[in-house]
């Protein structure tokens, strides 16, 4: 009996550390402790402490959602009273930004806190949660995710472990994430660090999905509208609108400052239509917290998203009409967008992507 306890204590400790590249002091300590235990097997009081330890580890694992230090994320920006966003890095996800290259937002309502985007991994979700707790002691009650991508979803299991029961995603996005979970997790782990990503679980079965619109009562007579206007950057996407506060969080439907990245699943021809539907549904003076980049006006995200796509679609169409090639499309003058981040890494691919959309070419496979 005692031996069983000992073995399971060791195996729990090992399981916690085996997938980790031992870069985090806290998780490393579990592995060291498990090694220590093996030296003192015969001591009675030690055995009792091991059993207590076993329970403790299991408890910590279950309630913490992530075991490790809080990551040094940028401070949340106050957009309006009770509305905050952490503006993620404007470059690719990599170890230096822990995968935080989209915006994570939270809104404090009468009945609790609404979080938008689960974060790229449980470590980011945990660290973001610590920031929320510094600003409010209300519990996180709701989570919505912008689309099927890793930085929207992979942190979701952390929030589930924290007891968040109201999880929202578009039906297509939820399916896409579920089907690609293993590939998305592998890809993000490789890019930003397996030690941060390993704890992520597929919790898509716990999400409430919607097709066009869902309304959530958040207390104080206020409602949150969860909306979809059609495909775009991703086939499924979720927009969170706060009508009383005139604030909208459209996820990757809208970019500010950063160049758009087009993935295999991006349909820019539909994206521009969807953007038109989005614009006509919003009041002109709405404040936009975009998927990427700082909060901005509707006009500004239109320029950086819709106007750019329209310009590219027109230019590429002219090349196609004239019998031009992909190489010709790559030569389209995009120099007026040079100041935007990740310009160098995206502009040629964007031209090729749109060329292939128009001509029915192969768009490849993305695991973002
Ligand atoms: Zn994204």
**Domain extents in the chain:** 2-64, 77-301, 311-359
Residue 322 C-alpha to ligand 1 middle, in angstroms?
A: 34
| CATH of segment(s) 77-301 | 3.60.15.10
At what angle are helices 343-359 and 308-321 packed, to 10 degrees?
50
- List 341's β-bridge partners, or say none: 258
The predicted pLDDT at position 62 comes to 67
With beta carbons less than 8 A apart as the criterion, state whether 196 and 119 touch. Answer: no
**CA 42 / ligand 1 centre spacing (Å):** 54
Distance 321 CA to ligand 1 centre (A): 32
Average pLDDT taken over every residue of the chain: 90
Q: How many other C-beta atoms can be found within 10 angstroms of the C-beta atom of residue 221?
A: 8
**Residue 68 — very low, low, confident or very high, per pLDDT cuts 50/70/90?**
confident
Scan for tokens 């490393």, then name that residue: 28
More confident residue, 53 or 270: 270
Look at residue 237 and tell me whether its pLDDT is greater than 60. Answer: yes
For the record, the structure tokens of 150 come out as 């890793």
- At 228 the pLDDT is 98
Q: Which residue has the higher pLDDT, 6 or 282?
A: 282
Evaluate if residue 58 carries a pLDDT over 70.
no
pLDDT digits (tens, 9 = 90+) for 316-363: 999 999 999 999 999 999 999 999 999 999 999 999 999 999 999 999
How far does the centroid of ligand 1 lie from the alpha carbon of residue 368, in Å?
Answer: 8
CA of 137 to the centre of ligand 1 (A): 29
**Residues 76-107: tens digit of each pLDDT:** 999 999 999 999 999 989 999 999 999 999 99
Q: How far apart are CA 191 and CA 368, in angstroms?
A: 10
Q: Is the pLDDT reported for residue 260 higher than 90?
A: yes
Interval between CA 359 and ligand 1 midpoint (Å): 26
Asked whether the predicted pLDDT for residue 113 surpasses 60, the reply is: yes
Phi-psi group of 256: left, alpha or beta (phi > 0 → left; psi -120 to 50 → alpha; rest → beta): beta
258 half-sphere exposure, CB direction, 13 A CA radius: 24
Distance of CA 227 to the CA centre of its chain: 18
Residues 278 and 250 sit within 8 Å (Cβ to Cβ): yes
Q: For 166-242, where are the E strands, in sequence order?
A: 166-170, 208-210, 213-219, 222-227, 239-242
Closest CA to 246 of 76, 77, 80: 80
Measured in angstroms, how far is the CA atom of residue 252 from the centroid of ligand 1? 6
Angle at 330 between CA 325 and CA 331, to 5 degrees: 100
Judge whether 253 and 173 are in contact, CB under 8 Å: no
For residue 342, the SS3 value is: coil
Is the pLDDT reported for residue 234 higher than 60? yes
How many helical (H) and strand (E) elements, i.e. helices and strands, does the chain have? Answer: 13, 13
Integer Cα distance of 196 and 125 in angstroms: 10
Query: If DSSP codes are grouped into helix, strand and coil, which group holds residue 218?
Result: strand
Distance between CA atoms of residues 102 and 293, nearest Å: 8
**Contact at 8 Å (CB) between 85 and 194?**
no
- Residue 324, both tokens: 């031009």
Using the mean position of ligand 1's atoms as its centre, give its distance from the Cα of residue 265 in Å: 12
The neighbouring-strand residues paired with 216 are 224
Q: 270-302: per-residue pLDDT in tens?
A: 999 999 999 999 999 999 999 999 999 999 999
For range 199-206, the mean pLDDT? 96
**pLDDT over 90 for what percent of the chain?**
79
Task: List C-alpha distances in Å: 197 to 4, 66, 119, 334.
Answer: 30, 10, 10, 36
Contact (Cβ atoms closer than 8 angstroms) between residue 184 and residue 225: no
What spacing in Å lies between the alpha carbon of 317 and ligand 1's midpoint? 26
**Residue 264 alpha carbon to ligand 1 centre in Å:** 13
């Amino acid at each position: 009996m005692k031996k069983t306890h000992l073995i399971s204590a060791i195996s729990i400790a090992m399981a916690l550390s085996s997938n980790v590249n031992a870069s985090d002091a806290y998780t490393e300590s579990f592995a060291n402790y498990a090694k220590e235990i093996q030296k003192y097997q015969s001591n009675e009081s030690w055995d009792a402490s091991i059993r207590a330890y076993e329970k403790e580890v299991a408890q910590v694992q279950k309630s913490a959602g992530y075991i490790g230090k809080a990551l040094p994320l940028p401070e949340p920006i106050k957009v309006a009273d009770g509305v905050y966003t952490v503006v993620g890095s404007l470059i690719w996800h990599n170890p230096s930004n822990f995968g935080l290259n989209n915006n994570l937002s939270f809104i404090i309502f009468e009945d609790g806190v609404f979080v938008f985007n689960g974060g790229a991994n449980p470590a980011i979700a945990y660290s973001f949660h610590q920031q929320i707790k510094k600003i409010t002691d209300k519990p996180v009650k709701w989570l919505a995710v912008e689309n099927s991508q890793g930085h929207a979803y992979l942190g979701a299991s952390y929030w589930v472990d924290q007891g968040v029961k109201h999880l929202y995603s578009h039906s297509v996005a939820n399916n896409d994430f579920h089907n690609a979970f293993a590939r998305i997790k592998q890809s993000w782990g490789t890019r930003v660090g397996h030690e941060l990503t390993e704890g992520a679980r597929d919790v898509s079965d716990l999400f409430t999905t919607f097709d066009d619109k869902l309304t959530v009562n958040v207390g104080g007579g206020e409602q949150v509208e969860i909306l979809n206007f059609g495909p775009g950057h991703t086939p499924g996407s979720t927009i969170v609108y706060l009508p009383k506060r005139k604030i909208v969080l459209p996820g990757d439907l809208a970019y500010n400052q950063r160049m758009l990245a087009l993935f295999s699943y991006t349909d820019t021809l539909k994206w521009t239509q969807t953007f038109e539907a989005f614009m006509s549904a919003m009041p002109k003076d709405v404040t936009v917290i975009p998927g990427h980049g700082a909060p901005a006006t509707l006009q500004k995200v239109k320029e950086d998203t819709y106007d750019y796509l329209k310009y590219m679609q027109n230019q590429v169409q002219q090349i196609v009409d004239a019998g031009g090639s992909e190489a010709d499309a790559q030569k389209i003058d995009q120099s007026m967008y040079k100041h935007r981040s990740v310009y160098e890494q995206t502009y040629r691919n964007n031209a090729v992507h749109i060329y292939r959309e128009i001509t029915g070419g192969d768009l490849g496979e993305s695991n973002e």
